[in-house]
Amino acid sequence: MNENMTPTIAEAGMNEALKQARIAGSVGEVPIGAVVMHQGKIVGRGYNLREHAQDATLHAEIMAISEANHTLNTWRLEDCQLFVTIEPCPMCSGAIINARIPEVYFGARDPKAGTVRSLYQLLEDPRFNHRVIVHEGLMADQASTLMQNFFRAIRRGRGAKKPGSQRTK
């Protein structure tokens, strides 16, 4: 944790990411949320919207990074931290590296698509021109529970139907 990031600020960041994840879940999206903080203040928020927009790039992290870029008027987020409920995928890990975010806090691992700890360790790979300090497990139980409940409800047929999920021939 950098000297400006207190446990209270880190918890506030992850609480807001969890709030964003709940919004995603409430509209039938996979409940993943993210926020970008700069000097202890939130400058970017995001939650998954790929089903609603039918856009594969609309992941929580991408949305939060994009909003932070616009808020701070720079593509370099060198003095920021990203908080995300679930371990980032390859696309989001690439965006984190390209945005030069120095620290990432994530809740639960994603054993099927995670590229921070589970499948790869992209954010700390020395072959890239930027490496990220990773903090794993912040509010992991809450993040994991959101995901489990969402997919359990879908399997039981009581979950919100995802837009575009019904295929036509």
**Binding-site annotation, residues for Zn(2+):** 59, 89, 92
164 class by beta-carbon count within 10 Å (0-12 exposed, 13-18 middle, 19+ buried): exposed
Active site residue 136: no
The Cα 110–Cα 115 span in angstroms is: 8
Residue 161 DSSP code: P
In angstroms, what CA-CA distances link 150 with 16, 22, 72, 101? 19, 10, 34, 29
Neighbours of 21 (CB within 10 A): 28
> Among residues 61, 67, 87, 103, which one is catalytic?
61
Q: Which two tokens stand for residue 163?
A: 């837009």
User: Which residues are known catalytic residues?
Assistant: 61
